[in-house]
Amino acid sequence: MTSLLKRSGPQFFGPLLQKLRSLGVDSDTELDAVLNRIKVRAGTRRGEDIVAPGRSPGHATVLMDGVACLYGRLHDGNRQIYAFQYSGDFCDLHQHVLPETNNEVAVAAITDCSIGIIEHKDLEQLIAQYPSLGLALWRASMLEASIFRKRLLNVGRQPALQRVAHLLCEQLARREAVGLNSATIPLTQMDLADAAGLSIVHINRTFQELRRLNILSKEGRAIKVVDRERLAGLASFDGNYLNMPQLLSHWQVKIESAPTPAEHRRPCHPPTSATRLCSKPVLQEAIGSCRQHR
Amino acid sequence: MTSLLKRSGPQFFGPLLQKLRSLGVDSDTELDAVLNRIKVRAGTRRGEDIVAPGRSPGHATVLMDGVACLYGRLHDGNRQIYAFQYSGDFCDLHQHVLPETNNEVAVAAITDCSIGIIEHKDLEQLIAQYPSLGLALWRASMLEASIFRKRLLNVGRQPALQRVAHLLCEQLARREAVGLNSATIPLTQMDLADAAGLSIVHINRTFQELRRLNILSKEGRAIKVVDRERLAGLASFDGNYLNMPQLLSHWQVKIESAPTPAEHRRPCHPPTSATRLCSKPVLQEAIGSCRQHR
DNA sequence: CGGCGGCTTGATTCGAGTCAAGAACCGTGG
DNA sequence: CCACGGTTCTTGACTCGAATCAAGCCGCCG
């Protein structure tokens, strides 16, 4: 079997290669070994499930092209999108590591998708043979987890406008990382609603606001970002959590008005109004931890 | 070095051992090797940070006793708790796997805590030597991730009452899993608020409702669950995502009124009112995917 | 042309947040 | 043993963001 690496250019395997490399798999031997185990599966079209909820079918799934989303449902059918996935992403590592647990998760195609699969036993074998591959996949999982956390922070604590703005920023950044530089994001307002934990109607109104602010394009139904700067500013977007060493420079902290001089303030700042709200004013804790050291 | 496994009974290492075993580390050799690398660190008292936000200090942290929480902050200081942690849990695996990325995450002690640490290089060495340990830790991360997802689903899509109920159920189940069988949960209303993405005031009112329903104890400030059944019912709690094979039987799906006959309904159900809301009615997609297969 | 999916709008309701006090409780120290 | 000070919990009044309900519209695809 000749080197797939050399043979079939970036067309199909490109994104996966890039992803694996960015996760720390650098030897061509390993990359080639992985590619050799990947089988192409029939594509999935927009709207269909790539990974159905329920038991794992014995293989891991890789998104080779297109956009997908990882989602779960409430008992009433209500959907929550946990994260979007792009070319090169593994769709269902959870099922590989904890096969029993995550029956309540599924992956749906948001655009038509190309899918690759790799048998779980092949994967295990590969990991056994190349420990660094195991680490890379662990990293991939962690990266996804850090997306979950970020989303949780935003859904739990941000108003609609910044929540949506952040979501859009994240998508722009991640698309860029896989070479999609168009300012247009191929999501429907419903997708956004399900990801942001908002109703469609309210997403729509939020969009109107974003358009009014000249951040989103005013014409056409597509979601087209015309002012990334302001968008990132609005969302206080810091792409650091996405762990993309590459072309990330300009996605760094762009606070508009907010303070936050150093990263996260440390305890013992100049105490101010010490009212008891949630845990909002860090001051609280700051003061607290100063005093509590007894 | 004699076997710590044999020597220092369950007092200190017990929870960690139990955790590792539940993650699939079964050989005593491996367990012993791990324990031998763990150093005891000064405890942390209620309110202090166990893991400060920012760069990793070169070691991984294990919670040996007490309750902690993994949290992040918005720029305005607003806190979101991502997950609670119990004895035996690793606090900061993220920093081990993706050291650069997750500066925006920290761990705080919710009760006084006992802490163990293990140098990153020791950990790497151990993983290299015992691949199954690497897998176990990967599993641990995934488990945490599945907690994030569940929380995201609830925060994004559930009203306060069930959100809080679910949160409480999760804590009960997880405490049980580490041998804490008391019906009392040592959290403050503020902690709950930060975890549920609600304001303290509203948490308080939700509590009043839960008490009125005779689900929470009426007297005393502590959060004491007097009717787990109803609580779980209210929350439609299914502990499956926690991956606890043990005493989990009674935490299974306990739907009160809701339908959901089989797990997650499959496509092609009897179509009903096909209005376009979010993606609420699964019917939508059901119908969709039936039709879209062209 | 018809029909459906996705986008818009307006009216209305309601859950949850904010503000502002006050009460209960707990650990501490006299 | 009690008084003090600070968290934590409660309550009430009021506001506001977001959901819901209900149409209507637009553009695409068969």
Range B158-292 has CATH code 3.20.20.120: no
pLDDT digit string, tens, across residues B220-241: 899 999 999 999 999 999 999 9
Q: Are B176 and B168 in contact (CB under 8 A)?
A: no
User: Domain residue spans in chain B?
Assistant: 3-146, 158-292
Is A270 at the interface with chain B, CB within 8 A?
no
Task: Note the pLDDT of residue A104.
Answer: 86
Give me A147's structure tokens.
């997306």
B138, B151, B204: which to substitute to probe chain A, counting the most A Cβ within 10 Å?
B138
Who wins on pLDDT, B274 or A39? A39
Q: Integer distance in angstroms from CA B203 to C1' C22? A: 19
Listed residue (A237, A103, A95) closest to A158, CA to CA: A237
Chain B residues with CB under 8 Å of A241 CB are: 101-102, 104
Q: Which nucleotide is nearest to B187 (CA to C1')?
A: D8
Chain B residues with CB under 8 Å of A264 CB are: 53-54, 73, 103-104, 106
Chain A residues with CB under 8 Å of B240 CB are: 100-101, 103-104
Listed residue (A83, A54, A53, A51) closest to A70, CA to CA: A83
Q: Integer distance in angstroms from CA A241 to C1' D22? A: 42
| Crossing angle of helices A160-177 and A200-212, rounded to 10° | 80
**Residue length of chain B:** 294
Query: pLDDT 10s digit of each residue in chain A, 294 long?
Result: 445 555 554 577 888 998 999 999 989 999 999 999 999 988 899 999 999 988 778 999 999 999 999 999 999 999 999 999 999 999 999 999 887 776 789 999 999 999 999 999 999 999 999 999 999 999 999 999 999 999 999 999 999 999 999 999 999 999 999 999 999 999 999 999 999 999 999 999 999 999 999 999 988 889 999 999 999 999 999 999 998 766 555 666 544 544 433 333 333 333 333 333 445 444 333 333 333 332
Task: Note the pLDDT of residue B220.
Answer: 87
pLDDT digit string, tens, across residues B50-60: 999 887 789 99
Q: Integer distance in angstroms from CA A222 to C1' D26? A: 14
Chain B residue with the nearest C-alpha to that of A157: B197
Is B279 at the interface with chain A, CB within 8 A?
yes
Query: With a 7 Å cutoff on the CB, does A200 touch strand C?
Result: yes
Is A42 at the interface with chain B, CB within 8 A?
no
Mean per-residue pLDDT for B209-222?
94
The DSSP symbol for B8 reads S
What architecture (CATH level 2) is domain B3-146?
Answer: Sandwich (2.60)
Q: Integer distance in angstroms from CA B181 to C1' C28? A: 31
D18 nearest neighbour residue (CA to C1')? A202
Q: Integer distance in angstroms from CA A31 to C1' D23? A: 56
- The per-residue b/e assignment along B148-184, b for 16 or more CB within 10 angstroms, e otherwise, is bbbbbbbbbbbebebbbbbbbbbbbbbbbbbebeeee
Is B48 at the interface with chain A, CB within 8 A?
yes
Chain A residue with the nearest C-alpha to that of B240: A101
Task: Note the pLDDT of residue A143.
Answer: 96
Out of A97, A146, A157, closest to residue B94 by CB: A146
Query: With a 7 Å cutoff on the CB, does A208 touch strand D?
Result: no
Residues 225-264, chain A: which have Cβ within 8 Å of B? Answer: 236, 238, 240-243, 255, 258-260, 263-264
Between strands B223-224 and B184-185, the pairing is: antiparallel
Q: Which of residues 183-222 of B touch strand D (CB under 7 A)?
A: 188-190, 200-201, 204-205, 207-208, 221
Task: Note the pLDDT of residue A251.
Answer: 66
pLDDT digit string, tens, across residues B258-273: 443 333 333 333 333 3
- Within this chain, domains A3-146 and A158-292 share the same CATH topology: no
Between strands A223-224 and A49-51, the pairing is: unpaired
Give me A95's structure tokens.
């099922």
Task: Note the pLDDT of residue B147.
Answer: 97
Mean per-residue pLDDT for B19-31?
92
Chain A residue with the nearest C-alpha to that of B204: A278
SS3 per-residue string spanning A238-286:
CHHHHCCCHHHHHHCCCCCCCCCCCCCCCCCCCCCCCCCCCCCCHHHHH
Is B292 at the interface with chain A, CB within 8 A?
yes
Task: Note the pLDDT of residue B104.
Answer: 86
Chain A residues with CB under 8 Å of B285 CB are: 47
Q: Do A78 and B289 touch (CB under 8 A)?
A: no
B97, B190, B291: which to substitute to probe chain A, counting the most A Cβ within 10 Å?
B97
* Integer Cα distance of B42 and B255 in angstroms: 44
Residues 167-206, chain B: which have Cβ within 8 Å of A? Answer: 190, 193-194, 196-197, 199-200
**pTM: predicted TM-score of the whole model, two decimal places:** 0.87
Q: Integer distance in angstroms from CA B284 to C1' C11? A: 26
pLDDT digit string, tens, across residues B68-102: 999 999 999 999 999 999 999 999 999 999 877 76
pLDDT at B145 over 60: yes
Q: Do A82 and B149 touch (CB under 8 A)?
A: yes
